[in-house]
Chains A and B, each alone.
Chain A
Amino acid sequence: METLLNDFSVGLFFMQALILLIVIVLMRVFAWKPILDALQTREDGIQEALESAENAKLEMQNLQANNEKLLKEARAERESMLKEAREMKEKMIEDAKTQAQEEANKMVSNAQLAIENEKKAAVAELKSQVANLSIEIAEKVVREELSNKDKQAKLVESMLSEATLN
């Protein structure tokens, strides 16, 4: 203890205090403050970057979800549009079919009508011709028959019998 106290130099103590004070002040101004500030800003920057990265990730996820939704919607729309188109097509075909059917039916009926008319006309003509022919034939036959008495009588007879049968 005594030797230590003897070794204790007041001057050295004073010089040390002076130097330490100066060094602390100088280091504070020129080194520690800028260094610690820079470290702080760097760490804040890193923190911020991490946070923004996290945010970006979230946003990205949102965006992706949005995209998915949009895609789904688009798909649904396309589906519905396709469906509509298909229906429309079917309807049009159906319509066309029915129309064609109707037209055909009409044409057929017209044709039938025309045929009927033609037939009727033909039949009428045939009838009239047949009547004329039969009248002519009958005239001839009657003339011939009436030229012969027997035959006239026979005819009357047969006709009469026939008539009775009726």
Chain B
Amino acid sequence: MYNLIGAGIIVIGGGIGLGQIGGKAMESIARQPEAAGKIQTAMIIIGALLEGLAFGALILGK
């Protein structure tokens, strides 16, 4: 039970983090549209790392 709650908290944190990454990436693309490709790649990598964390928590907690 507690591990599920912990997993839930981590997933919430991951969601907030993903939101931050996405929002900031959008902002920076809007600020510098010519760097969109690089920003997107960086965004996807960080998103993937965060996703890995969230999934890890989910699976370890399940």
Contacts and interface: CB of A to CB of B under 8 A. Distances in A.
Are A and B in direct contact (Cβ within 8 Å)?
A: yes
Interface string B19-62: 00000000000000000000000000000000000000001101
A42 B47 CA distance: 36
Contacts of A1: 59-60, 62
Nearest to A3: B62
Chief secondary structure at chain A's binding surface = helix
A1 B62 CA distance: 6
A1 to B, nearest CB: 6
Interface string A1-13: 1011000000000
Nearest to A4: B59
A72 to B, nearest CB: 48
B52 to A, nearest CB: 15
Nearest to B62: A1
Nearest to A1: B60
Nearest to B60: A1
A57 B10 CA distance: 63
A29 B5 CA distance: 50
Interface in A66-87: none
Contacts of B59: 1, 4
A4 B62 CA distance: 9
Nearest to B61: A1
Contacts of B60: 1
A3 B60 CA distance: 11
B2 to A, nearest CB: 14
A3 B62 CA distance: 9
Interface in A106-164: none
A143 to B, nearest CB: 148
Contacts of B62: 1, 3-4
Interface of B: 59-60, 62
Q: In the A-B complex, list the 4 residue pairs whose CB atoms are closest, starting with the nearest.
A: A1-B60, A4-B59, A1-B59, A1-B62
6 contacts: A1-B59, A1-B60, A1-B62, A3-B62, A4-B59, A4-B62
